[in-house]
Structure 1
Amino acid sequence: MGEVTALPEAEGIWEAQPPETMPGGKLPRIKEKNRRLHIRVLTAREPEAILWEISFPDAPTNNILQRGITLTPEGEGTRVETTVRWIRPDHRLGIGAKLARLAVGTPLRPVMRHFVRVQAGDFARSISRQFR
């Protein structure tokens, strides 16, 4: 992540932008419409749970990413549970785009579920590494 700043006009929303160059001097390969992220906390029950969403203000038809972390005491340690959810903003799409999503999305749904599980697992492992 590059730069993260709080938006003064919207309480509880942060804006993030990728770094100008990646480690090693390479330019990041990110579409212009996906360069700005808005991060908003939806639920925060300190210290055990947090849920936030990440959206793209320059691409209102992009899916919204929700991520959550729940910490529960277990034995002598702590169990980390993560959730990853992609929300489709169908209310912003025309009828043609909705029909195209339905035609393509229905047969690909099991594949997409698999990849979301992979994302959740990667997310959980990255958090787990920080506690070691």
Structure 2
Amino acid sequence: MSILLKRLVLVAALAATFNIPAALAAGRNVGSGLIGNTVELTGPAGTTKIYYTNSKTLIVHTPDGKKTKGWWRVKGRSICTRVGEKPENCTEPMVDAPVAGNSGVIASPEGDIKWAVTKGRGF
């Protein structure tokens, strides 16, 4: 997996930490809003979509059309992901849980990445 894809997967997990109303997530598992939904990341390299199939697995659909199976878990207030043979990456602890309808922009050395959580499988 490319370094950029690895970063995009981590960004997807990090995306949940931005601009999400606390009232929506008070006391809930920070990963509960991802199950059955897609995180879409659009940046200089194209659009990557990550579908959280259930409470354990995800599918990454890259700009070149490849699909890769991965795993995710909640560790305290962090979301940890592992795709392919790459080591697990975890977000910083989150206050709020991501939910469908959330979106924002994350600054990156490679260029800004727009992210959005959409309902259902987006590919």
Which TM bucket (shorter chain)? 0.3 to 0.5
Higher helix share: 1
Greater RCO, 1 or 2 (C-alpha within 8 Å, sep 6+): 2
TM-score in terms of structure 1 length: 0.31
